[in-house]
Structure 1
Amino acid sequence: MRLNSADAGGAPWGDADVASTPGQKKAAANTIETELEPDTRKAGNWADDASGKAVTGFDGWDTAAGLKKVRETWESQVKTLMGRLSAEKGALRGAGGLFAQNDLATESAFKNGSKLNGL
Structure 2
Amino acid sequence: MAWDEWQQIKADGAARQSASMRLNQLAPAAGGGGAGKPDMASSPAAKKAAAKAIDDDLEPGVTRDGKHAAETTNATVKAFGAKDGHGWDTSGALKRAHEAWEKQVQMLLGRLFSERQALCATGISFQNNDLDIAARLSRQSRIDGI
TM-score, L = length of structure 1: 0.71
Amino acid at match of 1:24: A
2:46 alignment counterpart: 24
CA distance in structure 2 between the aligned counterparts of 1:110 and 1:63, rounded to whole angstroms: 67
Match of 1:59 among 78, 81, 88: 81
Q: How does 1:69-84 map to 2 (within 5 A)?
A: 69-84=96-111
TM-score, L = length of structure 2: 0.59
Contact 1:48 1:74 (8 Å CA) reproduced: no
Q: Tell me the C-alpha RMSD between the 2 structures.
A: 2.7
Higher relative contact order (Cα pairs below 8 Å, separated by 6+ residues)? 1
**CA offset at residue 28 of structure 1?**
1.0
Q: Say which one has the larger Rg.
A: 2
Question: Unaligned stretches of 5+ in structure 1?
Answer: 1-11
CA distance in structure 1 between the aligned counterparts of 2:128 and 2:73, rounded to whole angstroms: 48
CA distance in structure 2 between the aligned counterparts of 1:44 and 1:28, rounded to whole angstroms: 22
CA distance in structure 1 between the aligned counterparts of 2:130 and 2:45, rounded to whole angstroms: 15
**CA offset at residue 88 of structure 1?**
0.7
Assess, with a 3 A threshold, how the Cα gap between structure 1 residues 97 and 74 changes in structure 2: closer, same or farther: same
2:58 alignment counterpart: 36
Amino acid at match of 2:46: Q
Question: Unaligned stretches of 5+ in structure 2?
Answer: 1-33, 83-87
Does residue 99 in structure 1 map to residue 133 in structure 2?
no
